[in-house]
Amino acid sequence: MTTSDNASTEKQTAMSRNLTIDEEVDLLDIFIVLAKHKKKILKLTLAAAILSVIISLLLTKIYTATSKILPPQMNQSSASSMLNDLMGGGVGAGGGIGSALGLKDPNAIYVAMLESRTIMERVAKRFDLQKTYDAKNVTDTLKILGKNASISSGKDGIIEVDVDDKNPKLAADLANAFIEELDKLMQTFSLTDASHRRLFFEQQLKMAKNKLTDAELVLDKTPNTSLQYMDALRNLKYRESIFNILAKQFEMAKLDEAKDYPLIQVLDKAEVPERKSRPKRALIVILSTFVALIFSILWAFFREAIDKAKSNPGQLKKLEEINKLVFKSKTM
């Protein structure tokens, strides 16, 4: 090894020793500052902890009730088929209203129905929430209900309704009411659609019966040896086929209208919550205490920096200049 290499190695060793010494000095300075202001740090931290405990105890308890439903099956009712068509989910469909609105998830339309003003108003009116929430009008009542209610559809396809309230029983009742009102709305859609189809086929059946009667009269008046008789016979059979098809469709429409099956399958009915969901007092106290500790430590170092600056004439002038600038900005 050459003399230059030895000198370089010794230089690096010296530099590393100096860095180690500087780090030790910096750490010692930090500990000195903390020890010097330990009483103030402890007082501020303890005061924040006590204050956070008091505030958390004064906060109103909020309870959350949850109800879960399975999404309505598309083959259950004509209403579901109608909603499926709206979603553009039919085979060979070019995209429905749901696609145009960006509702790619079939459950999204049921979530939108639960969040609709129609269901919100029904729930609010059912429990007289305007009085309960002490709201000025219906619009304010619905805003509060919208904030307290959270409706979502998970990756598993289950639709969940969460409702917050300071009254645990009311929270459960509201969560269940959303599902019940959705079921009523779906029943209305189903009955309306089935009724329309029944009326349509009933009218078509009457027209087909009249045309069948006319065809029978024409056949009776036509001699059975003429070509007109064959045409009349074919027309009669055609009218009979149309009448039979419409009669079957009419009977199916009447059955659909008379069906009484549940559209909504409740997976978990909301129960009265036994424990509050918020405020999370322990979390509030821990975070408040931690923030106060950090703030008090920063204050200690800031105070130490000011004390050192006052003992240095150059730094003292800078502090006086800062005070003037801050004072001027406040007065302006």
DSSP code per residue over 101-120? TT--STHHHHHHHHTSHHHH
Mean pLDDT for the stretch of residues 122-150: 95
Structure tokens at 179: 């599902």
Amino acid at 41: I
CA-to-CA distance for 273 and 53, rounded, in angstroms? 24
Is 53 exposed, middle or buried (CB count within 10 Å of its CB: 0-12, 13-18, 19+)?
A: middle
Contact 112, 118 (CB under 8 A): no
Per-residue confidence at 105, pLDDT binned at 50, 70, 90? Answer: low
Q: Which residues have CB under 8 Å from 310's CB, separation 6+? A: 316, 319
In three-state secondary structure terms, 74 is coil
Per-residue confidence at 71, pLDDT binned at 50, 70, 90? Answer: confident
The mean of the pLDDT values for the chain is 80
**What's the pTM?**
0.61
321/139: higher pLDDT: 139
> pLDDT by residue (tens digit) across 172-195?
999 999 999 998 888 787 777 778
- Asked if the model's pLDDT at residue 211 lies above 80, the reply is yes
Identify the pLDDT of residue 120: 95
Identify the pLDDT of residue 15: 53
- Asked if the model's pLDDT at residue 80 lies above 60, the reply is no
53/75: higher pLDDT: 53
Identify the pLDDT of residue 124: 96
- Asked if the model's pLDDT at residue 31 lies above 90, the reply is no
What backbone torsions phi and psi does residue 22 show, to the nearest 5 degrees? -65, -40
Identify the pLDDT of residue 275: 92
115/197: higher pLDDT: 115
- Asked if the model's pLDDT at residue 72 lies above 90, the reply is no
Identify the pLDDT of residue 304: 80
Bridging pattern class, strands 159-165 and 149-153? antiparallel
> pLDDT by residue (tens digit) across 218-241?
888 888 877 888 899 999 999 999
Identify the pLDDT of residue 189: 77
Cis peptide before 313 (omega within 30 of 0): no
What are the domain boundaries of the chain? 3-58+279-331, 63-268
Per-residue confidence at 128, pLDDT binned at 50, 70, 90? Answer: very high
Identify the pLDDT of residue 64: 96
Mean pLDDT for the stretch of residues 303-329: 69
63-268 fold: Bacterial polysaccharide co-polymerase-like (3.30.1890)
Stretch (H or E) spanning 4: helix 3-36
Contact 116, 142 (CB under 8 A): no
CA-to-CA distance for 13 and 16, rounded, in angstroms? 5
- Asked if the model's pLDDT at residue 274 lies above 80, the reply is yes
- Asked if the model's pLDDT at residue 198 lies above 90, the reply is no
